[in-house]
Structure 1
Amino acid sequence: MIIDLKTALKYIILFLIGMGVLYLAFRGQDLEKIWEEIKAANYFWVVISAIAVLIAHVLRALRWQMLYQSIHYKVSFWNAYHAVMIGYLANLALPRFGEIGRCSVIHKVEKVPMFASIGTVITERLFDVLMLFFTSVAMVTCQYDIVSDFLYNLIYLNLVKKLGDINYLWLVGIGIIIISLIIVAVYFLRQKFSKKFLRIFVNLRQGFGSYSKLKQKGLFLTYTLGIWLFYSLSMYFAFSSIQATSGLHFNAAFTAIVFSGFAMAAPVQGGIGVFHWMVAQSLVLYGVSFKNGLAYSTMIHSSQVLLILVLGSLSLGLILTKKETK
């Protein structure tokens, strides 16, 4: 993939934004005490937390494999797993590039059309968005007394202020221009590349329809629930690693995973900065100091990044070796 100057600048800016959020999160904190807390951690529970994350990645590969099977592509579990891990590895460098990267891996080793794969990934991500929505609703409903002040003061009031500053005429104008450009672009693409455009559309539609063609929708939804359960368990197990969070219950892990879900949706490499701030803020709701919350979030984020670096690199090496031997 060739990255032009404009794209490179965009990724650099996104990375700098992440580093800026990270700086703001740690600004004014006693870094020496945070580091002492991390050094004194019980790393047995960090390893258990990482294993829970790995199980979630395995379930994601199994769920993705089901979508391929529903549209009659025989993708092996190991190729799906390696593609998922390579995708996570790519996201550490370029945000959102991992989704295209893993589709490219499946295209190379299984010869599945790229746009069919992209359709399955979009379908998969839609279910993740729905899960994030439902877990957010469940969090607010079951723990309203805990999260209500945070949502009102830090989210609602800031949102109202931002909306009050928006010039809606400019917003409507920009929306009309964007829609017009999309219509014009689609028209010219269909005129110039009608057959290619049709083939892309057919492949995308095939990928989008993968869930509706599933014979075991219950198993697919079970995998989806399992992914979020093991992500939450990874947060919960890691609580036992440091003294400041060792007394927290599963409801705190549930809240932390919802907050981290929104953090990871930010277009920043690996959620750096945003993840640390959001997870630390979620633990403040349960009586943990922001400083100790940063120690916890730094430790769990670092363990997950290390897991991806090791297993993602291993998967990349295996896929490249497989390609050469073929």
Structure 2
Amino acid sequence: MRKKTTRILKIFIPLFLGIFLIWYSLGTATPQERAEIWSSIKQADKSWIIISFFLGALSHLSRAYRWKYLLEPMGYTSRLSNRFMAVMVAYLANFGIPRSGEVLRAVSLSSYEKVPFEKGFGTIISERVADLLILMLIVVLAISFKTETLLTYLQEQHINPLNTFLIFLMLLAIMVIALNFVRRSSWPPFQKLKKIAKGLLEGMRSILRMKHKWKFIFHTVFIWTMYVLMFFVISQSLPETANVGSGTLLAAFIVGSFAVSATNGGLGVYPLAVGGILIFFGIEEHAAEAFGWISWTTQTFVVLIFGGLSFILLPILNNRK
């Protein structure tokens, strides 16, 4: 009963948080502010939004193609169509249950391509590590553009970056100690956990045994280039954001990348987080919030359309399996 309650809370708390943030955002805005935001959204240049939509689709296709380079070292081959549909179904699942997509993606490949779940899930973790490295590079780039502004803000808020770094190191040390304890333990549940971890590690090590490392790196860079371009293209759809500097847009992109996992598909959080950063850097409030909503809606439509079709077609096209 307790586990069932926990699962329900994990689904509905992020959903309610997203709905609450939308209600709070609209409720605290004056009728004139709401009218200005809606007017900006309606007047946005749709051609740039369509371009952004296709850039998003290309990024997902590249992610599906890149996946094969992690599966090949373990001796598994799979069809691009199945990998793409598994990726899109995973993104769609995150709108229902946050962070469930990676599990469903590995399950899909296990069901239709006979790749063991643990190994498939391990390759997905490897992907996430590669993606995190690229995101960190983008963070460094954004900070280099806005170093003076960010340092001034941290000083005003009495935030010491060194303390944050020390806390991170402490948590890392605790994690290493805990993993070492599990590895040495003979307790049956830990033995089962070690068996699962062994499969995960084999999947993760596939990134070191790839024959086509440069192709993997190319697709990784391409995926994130499409993400950034998808975001930047949206800025051209509004007159107020068309000339915004690259540093400001990168800062908003980074905040959006972290905010999207806070609720179901970033519902409520993403538009407010992106809009808030743009406002911080001097963009008019109605335009900043309109930008956040247009960007989130475009990304969401990519997932809803391709994810919905994949959800229907994946079992149909693999009906013999």
TM-score, L = length of structure 2:
0.85
Which among 29, 32, 46 is matched to residue 49 of structure 2?
A: 46
Which residues in structure 2 correspond to 1:200-211 (within 5 Å)?
200-211=196-207
Q: 1:185 to 1:215 in 2, by over 3 A?
A: closer
**In the alignment, structure 1 residue 321 sits paired with structure 2 residue 308:** no
CA offsets 1:64-104 (integer angstroms, 9 cap, x no match):
12111122110221111111000000001110000001111
CA offsets 1:153-195 (integer angstroms, 9 cap, x no match):
46937998x9xxx9xxxx99xx79x959x8499743358xx6x
Q: Give the Cα separation in 2 of the matches to 1:283 and 1:197.
A: 44
| 2:84 paired residue number | 81
Q: Give the Cα separation in 2 of the matches to 1:13 and 1:248.
A: 35
**In the alignment, structure 1 residue 106 sits paired with structure 2 residue 109:** yes
Q: Give the Cα separation in 1 of the matches to 2:47 and 2:13.
A: 37
Q: Give the Cα separation in 2 of the matches to 1:229 and 1:13.
A: 32
| 1:13 paired residue number | 13
Which among 142, 147, 153 is matched to residue 144 of structure 1?
A: 147
Which among 296, 302, 308 is matched to residue 307 of structure 1?
A: 302
Preserved CA contact (<8 Å) 1:46 1:238: yes
Deviation at 1:215, TM superposition (A): 1.5
Deviation at 1:238, TM superposition (A): 0.8
| 1:126 paired residue number | 129
Q: 1:190 to 1:11 in 2, by over 3 A?
A: closer
CA offsets 1:29-85 (integer angstroms, 9 cap, x no match):
221221111111111111101111111111111221211112211022111111100
**In the alignment, structure 1 residue 262 sits paired with structure 2 residue 258:** yes
**In the alignment, structure 1 residue 288 sits paired with structure 2 residue 283:** yes
Preserved CA contact (<8 Å) 2:10 2:97: no
| 2:229 paired residue number | 233
Which residues in structure 2 correspond to 1:13-32 (within 5 Å)?
13-29=13-29, 30-32=33-35
**In the alignment, structure 1 residue 35 sits paired with structure 2 residue 54:** no
| 2:249 paired residue number | 253
Q: Give the Cα separation in 2 of the matches to 1:153 and 1:48.
A: 39
Unaligned runs of 5+ in 2: none
Preserved CA contact (<8 Å) 1:60 1:227: yes
Which among 266, 269, 272 is matched to residue 271 of structure 1?
A: 266
Q: 1:297 to 1:150 in 2, by over 3 A?
A: farther
SS at match of 1:204: helix
Unaligned runs of 5+ in 1: none
Between the aligned residues of both structures, percent identity stands at 27
Q: 1:153 to 1:286 in 2, by over 3 A?
A: same
Q: Give the Cα separation in 1 of the matches to 2:16 and 2:244.
A: 33
| 1:4 paired residue number | 4
Q: 1:202 to 1:158 in 2, by over 3 A?
A: closer
Q: Give the Cα separation in 2 of the matches to 1:147 and 1:197.
A: 42
SS at match of 1:243: coil
SS at match of 1:324: coil
Query: Which stretch shows the higher mean deviation, 125-134 or 145-154?
Result: 145-154
Q: Give the Cα separation in 1 of the matches to 2:136 and 2:318.
A: 39
SS at match of 1:245: coil
| 1:69 paired residue number | 72
Q: Give the Cα separation in 1 of the matches to 2:16 and 2:271.
A: 15
Preserved CA contact (<8 Å) 2:86 2:109: yes
SS at match of 1:4: helix
